[in-house]
Amino acid sequence: MSTQERRQHPRVAVNRSATVRTTNGQTRRVQLVDLSIAGLGLLLPQAVTIGDSLDISFHLSHGNQSQFITAQGIIRRSHIRGNEIVVGIEIKHIEPDAQKLIAAFVRHKLELGGHLHSGQATDPASTA
């Protein structure tokens, strides 16, 4: 079964900065590349361990709502893309209002036709 078939929630491509903090306290700026209500994708400069926990934070705006989102997640998968590592994170804890904002953002992007297709990001909306 492919990753796309296992996914329970639609995800959309984004291109924005995020901050991650590892369990050992290391903090670094990374790139957020996709988002759903249950998970997100990050570009990292170095390898990580599947199963490790991360604290993730990023800013998200949709309509008249804007919020600095913080979430706790677990690394579920990773693969190499060029000189970077693409990491799939399962969100384990997020505030309900942040999850609602993500849901509205994803729904809007999907209505505009933004989605992930065969592992390649498409993002026709310039408001990612």
Residue 78 CA to residue 48 CA, distance in Å, equals 8
User: 């804007």: which residue's tokens?
Assistant: 66
Burial bucket for residue 57 (CB in 10 Å: 0-12, 13-18, 19+): middle
Asked if residues 74 and 90 have their Cβ atoms less than 8 Å apart, the reply is yes
pTM for this model (two decimals): 0.81
Write the pLDDT tens digit of every residue in 16-55.
999 999 888 889 999 999 999 999 999 988 878 999 999 9
Residues 74-86 have a mean pLDDT of: 91
Which of 49 and 9 is assigned the larger pLDDT?
49
Does any domain span residue 128? no
Which domain, by its residues, includes 90? 3-119
Does any domain span residue 72? yes
Helices (H), the chain: 3-6, 96-111
41 DSSP β-pair partners? 34, 88
CATH code: domain of residue 86 = 2.40.10.220
* Count of structural domains, the chain: 1
